[in-house]
Structure 1
Amino acid sequence: MRVFRKMSRYIMQTDVLDSQFTVLEMMILAANLKLGKELNLKQKLEVIDEILGMLRLKDTLNTMAQKLSGGERKRLCIALELVNNPPVIFLDEPTTGLDDLSSSQCIALLKVLAAGGRTVICSIHTPSAKIFEMLDAVYVLAEGQCVYQGKGSNIVPFLKNFGLCCPITYNPADFIIEVACLEYGGSYHEPMVEAVGNGKVARWSPPAVEGETTTTKTDTTSGASSFYERDQFDEEISPKLLEAKCSWWLQYKLLLVRMLIQMWRDKSYIKLKFYMNIVLALLVGSLYFGMGTSASKALFNFGFMFTIVIAYLYLPMMPVLLYFPTEINLLKREYNNQWYRLSSYYAAMVTSKLPSMFILAVIYLSIVYLMSSQPLEWFRFAMLFTIAFVTALTSDSFGLLISSRLSLVNAMFMGPVLAVPLILLSIYGIGYGGGTYISPLMRFLMHLSYLRHSMEGLVASLYDYGRADTICEDTEIFCSFKKSKVLLAFLGFENMHYLWSLSCLMSFYLLFTVAAYFMIRLRLKHSEVSPIFAYVIQLLTKYFNFTSYNY
């Protein structure tokens, strides 16, 4: 089975394509990933030109995928999988969403591929008479059992053996589907299944002697061998076919470049994130303007640090919850069709986010840091930036962990809901002094929230390491928070350590990142869900009216 999976390709019913690339760019990427360094660029372009010519896609070389017609998108999906010439191709309803002409052209192209030595297997619900004539072999299923297997032209005499006469104006495919759906009664189902041995008979053929009412069965072993020619499949497959043509490092580089190009070409999203960070930074900076050096407003400055935590919880997490559940379909198609290793894709996805997140963090934190009049010391800004940036990375991984197993709607619901206890635990016990009133259990739960470590790291970056006394206004009679140690003792942060907080944040980031990888791997492998996880989902679905769980 492992061998068969590696040599077969599956084309989904929905045309899952990357809308940010042209036909030629997608074909070149597929060639680089599937052929590796076996061929040079000129040879790869020759292969691409031959495939696109056969599928009549040469006129769309520089057309973006989102501008292709339905038939062109379907043909492009087939072309992408033909790059390394797979011997077996599965297609799920290739004619869905196409008109009669496009459907006929699509099946005709598949027949050309089959004539070239490949095995093409399609599932089609309602083929037209013209399409039906093109099929070399037909396999009809009803209620999980095979009711016919053989040539399409033999369907009418096959049904006639059971007293079912196909009207002359009927399409034989429509007629046998109606019979399979029990529209002519349920008495025909079992005899039809027995006649073809529930699919064990290689193919049904009309009786050799005219007038004979019994069906003839071919030998289940020799017939299957002659009809499918699969009995020596493993011996005919070269071991080189199963080897990855592309190294892990080359896959990583190709996928990283693709993801960076995707981000760069999505101009509207880039502008939205850029302007959103600037507007939010100006809003926060105006609310906490000049409070960083004021002793009387030290608690407000603590609120300023809390806004950084909230911003770097939701800004990185929400786009992931919205984006990844839709990206999983493209990942399924490419990963299951042996384009690349999951580890190389995941590493490229994680790495591709770093440049944009770093730039946006520099813009946001520089504005709020200066407007709030925080200490003008480079090492403090660097410490604050490091904590905030790692918090953003952790929130991104946390969102990826949630969306790796849930559908879009469920992920958008669960993300903000799970964020609430993390926020509450991050500031629990503030104002309790040394924390003598906090139970050991609550102290343990507080440190299970990565936002708590983020808060401690931000406070340490601004008020620890020899922070100078803050300024007391002349109107202040009693200036209690002039000394930073007094403020830290009041907040309950006097025993914090910056490096410990940073280490805990990094640990949470690694934990979420690794956990998300294995959750995605489980989703792609179609493994059974853990009973505990399934029970939790069942409870949530029952009491919170969730949409159906999406594997």
Structure 2
Amino acid sequence: MLHSAADQQFEAGSLLSGGDKTDYGAVSNLSLLDTVDSPITLSWQDIRVSAPKINRDILHGVSGIANPGELVALMGASGAGKTTLLNTLVARNLKGLQVDGSVKVNGKVIGREITSVSGYAQQEELFVGTLTVKEYLSIQARLRVVEIPESKKGTATSLEEYRKNRVLKVLANLNLLKCQNTRIGVIGVKKGISGGEARRLTFACELLSNPALLFCDEPTTGLDSFMAESVIHVLSTLSTANRTIICTIHQPSSQLYSMFNKVIFLACGKTAFLGSPTQAIEFFASCGHVCPRNYNPADLIIHKLAVVPNEEDECIQRIEDITRKFEQSVYGTRLDSQLASVTEGRMPEKRRQANICTQINALLQRATIDTVRNPSLARAKMIQKSVMGLFVGLLYFQTKLDAIGVTNINGALFYLVCELTYSTLFGILNFLPSDFPLVAREYHDGLYSVLSYYVARCLSYLPLFTIDGLAMLLISYWLVGFQSAWDQVLLACLISFLIEQSSSAFGIMLSCVSPSFPIAMSSAGPLLTLLSLTGGLYANVGALPSFISWIQYLSWFRYGFEAFTINQWRKVDSPNWNSTNTQEVMQNLSFTESMFLWDMVIMAAYIVFFYTIGYIGLLIRIRRAR
């Protein structure tokens, strides 16, 4: 996904082209961005965070305020508590932590509902890499933009038109037009957009809903200095549209440092300073830490606030002295008065979720494109099943209907059951691990429900995990010489569909309830072995010991094989075959012809059961992932 530094410099230069004059002497088209209708003042007071399990205090009474139109930087040395503070402000990633204090939006505590009035551009860029930039944003728009704002109702005749206009505007504003038809890419698999473009795409997704409050976690990490400067310039320009923007940043250059309206320095979980970049330099100079000429102020301040190994006592004493002086300084007094003057104001309108049909439709489109464009899944599955169908057909080519032939045909039928199961289940076990981080993030962003994602993703697999199985069955069907009356062929296709969907549903269930992909993989093998051994070919199901025979009733191998066998032998087009032969085959396998319909009904019931358990498992895991 990452390009060279030269590529990044080129796109940074193009980012600053066309529109209003900027500090760079170039021009920017970012002035086209919408102004926020309901600005947000975010304040936090006496935030204390501790980890009871390890008996450690992380934040000690941290307070602060961010006003509309401000770009605020949270800075500090490693372990200072800036990431914990950001997580506290956005009410995310606080599992196992005890949080005290208040976070207010326009003077009101709203808790986790802060998600519905803000955007959060996280450090880790999570996308569906097989989609193009425009495709991805268009689907995001269907999830994030659910109505036309009152101020924009004259600009579009329909919601769909407004969404398209919004996507094009954001693409233009963040200079993503030149890569709009480029696939995002998958690291290590397929090259896509550059690192700078990926970072701007993260901002673009959040800006679709025009949030008044935007959080950014390490927006410049992984970028060269020139590209990092352009990204901060984007954020600075966004803040001029009456937005409140708060970001964590690690050791910015002196030029980046000067671009922030306000800086907050943390040290050992306490506030060491809050004010403008220039005021920070003056304050630390008054504490005896003068910044030398031509030296990066941020580097100096962070160094003075760091705890250096083997110098812990001296460093902690210096930090205690700085934090105490800040509390007693004019800057600390001003912060106290600002927090005291915060009153309840007009609350911004909360972002509403799209209706469930729109959610499923948008997610189904995204999942279907991803499945079709995934070469390791789509093409490989079709090639594999076609080859295996040809192999089975040639192995059992035109089998004769004698005693050995009957055994061989039954073996071919059971092999089809196994092939429909094993390759499908192991192919789908990656259902959740690859999607989980993105789904958890979007769910907690309030974009859609778990049910919408689950239904859409399962439906997206349905065509692929139906067509490949039917291809294998039909390629081998006439080569082997299975009974080919039209009703038997159609019923064989239905049985094949039910077997493959049973294994697909079981694989999805296993993926959702297992805590990790390796556990799901290691569990699948033994479970499938048990189910196949009681499937009816390796051991007669009527002769199994009572303490183990119950497993057969949990096995779609058994129901699928029985249904295939009944369908094959109930009507044989041969003068040397009669009903007695059919009964003999059934008795040898302990199968009952009257179970034919029940076999298919039970497999359908298991499909519903597996999907239901999978959904419950996914719901629990995602809710715990906040």
Tell me which interval the TM-score lies in, with the shorter structure as reference length.
0.7 to 0.9
Distance 1:462 1:114, change over 3 A: same
- The code of the aligned residue for 1:307 comes to Y
Equivalent residue in structure 1 for 2:338, among 208, 223, 238: 223
2:140 matches 1:34:
no
Runs of 4+ with deviation above 6 angstroms: none
Equivalent residue in structure 1 for 2:217, among 78, 82, 92: 92
Where does residue 232 of structure 1 map in the other structure? 344
- Asked if the contact 2:287/2:322 (under 8 Å) is kept, the reply is no
Distance 1:493 1:43, change over 3 A: closer
2:359 matches 1:251:
yes
2:293 matches 1:185:
no
Distance 1:223 1:368, change over 3 A: same
Aligned residues, how many? 498
* SS of structure 1 residue aligned to 2:216: strand
Q: TM-score, normalising length from structure 1? A: 0.80
In the TM superposition, 1:20-419 aligns within 5 A as: 20-36=130-146, 38=148, 40=158, 41-66=160-185, 67-141=192-266, 146-156=271-281, 158-159=283-284, 170-183=295-308, 184-189=311-316, 192=319, 204=326, 207-208=329-330, 216-218=332-334, 220=336, 222-224=337-339, 231-232=343-344, 235-238=346-349, 241-244=350-353, 246-266=354-374, 269-291=377-399, 293-322=401-430, 324-404=432-512, 405-419=514-528
Q: CA deviation at 1:281?
A: 0.4
* SS of structure 2 residue aligned to 1:326: coil
* Partner Cα separation in structure 2 for residue 483 and residue 75 of structure 1: 71
Identity of aligned residues (%): 26
Equivalent residue in structure 2 for 1:487, among 580, 585, 596: 585
* Partner Cα separation in structure 2 for residue 187 and residue 497 of structure 1: 82
Q: CA deviation at 1:109?
A: 0.8
Q: State the Cα deviation string for residues 41-74 of structure 1 (Å, max 9, x = none).
A: 4433433333233322233333332332111111
- The code of the aligned residue for 1:426 comes to G
- The code of the aligned residue for 2:555 comes to S
* Partner Cα separation in structure 2 for residue 505 and residue 380 of structure 1: 18
- Asked if the contact 1:20/1:262 (under 8 Å) is kept, the reply is yes
- The structure carrying a bigger strand percent of its residues is 2
Greater CA drift, 66-75 or 357-366: 357-366
* Partner Cα separation in structure 2 for residue 457 and residue 147 of structure 1: 74
- Asked if the contact 1:48/1:83 (under 8 Å) is kept, the reply is yes
- The code of the aligned residue for 1:132 comes to Y
Greater CA drift, 103-112 or 282-291: 282-291
Distance 1:253 1:165, change over 3 A: same
- Asked if the contact 2:371/2:461 (under 8 Å) is kept, the reply is no
Distance 1:377 1:407, change over 3 A: same
- Asked if the contact 2:273/2:326 (under 8 Å) is kept, the reply is yes
Where does residue 608 of structure 2 map in the other structure? 510
Equivalent residue in structure 2 for 1:455, among 547, 561, 572: 561
* SS of structure 2 residue aligned to 1:236: coil
Q: CA deviation at 1:363?
A: 1.6
Q: State the Cα deviation string for residues 11-38 of structure 1 (Å, max 9, x = none).
A: 2222222333333333322223322353
Q: State the Cα deviation string for residues 65-119 of structure 1 (Å, max 9, x = none).
A: 2332111111011111111111222222211211111111111111112221222
- The code of the aligned residue for 1:340 comes to Y
Q: CA deviation at 1:448?
A: 2.3
Q: TM-score, normalising length from structure 2? A: 0.71
Q: State the Cα deviation string for residues 353-401 of structure 1 (Å, max 9, x = none).
A: 2223332232211122211111122222223222221121122222222
Q: CA deviation at 1:508?
A: 1.8
Distance 1:466 1:371, change over 3 A: closer
Equivalent residue in structure 1 for 2:535, among 419, 426, 432: 426
- Asked if the contact 2:440/2:625 (under 8 Å) is kept, the reply is no
- Asked if the contact 1:158/1:206 (under 8 Å) is kept, the reply is no
- Asked if the contact 1:326/1:408 (under 8 Å) is kept, the reply is no
Distance 1:280 1:11, change over 3 A: same
Q: CA deviation at 1:338?
A: 2.9
- Asked if the contact 1:107/1:131 (under 8 Å) is kept, the reply is yes
- The structure carrying a bigger helix percent of its residues is 1
* SS of structure 2 residue aligned to 1:138: strand
Distance 1:186 1:316, change over 3 A: farther
* Partner Cα separation in structure 1 for residue 500 and residue 248 of structure 2: 45
Where does residue 499 of structure 1 map in the other structure? 597
Tell me, which stretches of 5 or more residues in structure 1 are unaligned?
A: 198-202, 209-214, 473-478, 529-551
* Partner Cα separation in structure 2 for residue 292 and residue 385 of structure 1: 23
Q: CA deviation at 1:150?
A: 4.0
* Partner Cα separation in structure 2 for residue 406 and residue 61 of structure 1: 36
Q: State the Cα deviation string for residues 445-492 of structure 1 (Å, max 9, x = none).
A: 2222332322222223223x45577958xxxxxx9x971222222222
- The code of the aligned residue for 2:532 comes to I
- The code of the aligned residue for 1:69 comes to S
Where does residue 540 of structure 1 map in the other structure? none
* Partner Cα separation in structure 2 for residue 500 and residue 193 of structure 1: 76
- The code of the aligned residue for 2:225 comes to D
- The code of the aligned residue for 1:96 comes to T
* SS of structure 1 residue aligned to 2:211: coil
* SS of structure 2 residue aligned to 1:447: helix
* Partner Cα separation in structure 2 for residue 313 and residue 147 of structure 1: 61
Where does residue 549 of structure 1 map in the other structure? none
- Asked if the contact 2:428/2:504 (under 8 Å) is kept, the reply is yes
Tell me, which stretches of 5 or more residues in structure 2 are unaligned?
A: 1-110, 149-155, 186-191
Q: CA deviation at 1:410?
A: 4.4
* Partner Cα separation in structure 1 for residue 275 and residue 400 of structure 2: 81
Considering Cα pairs closer than 8 Å and 6+ residues apart, tell me whether 1 or 2 has the greater RCO. 2
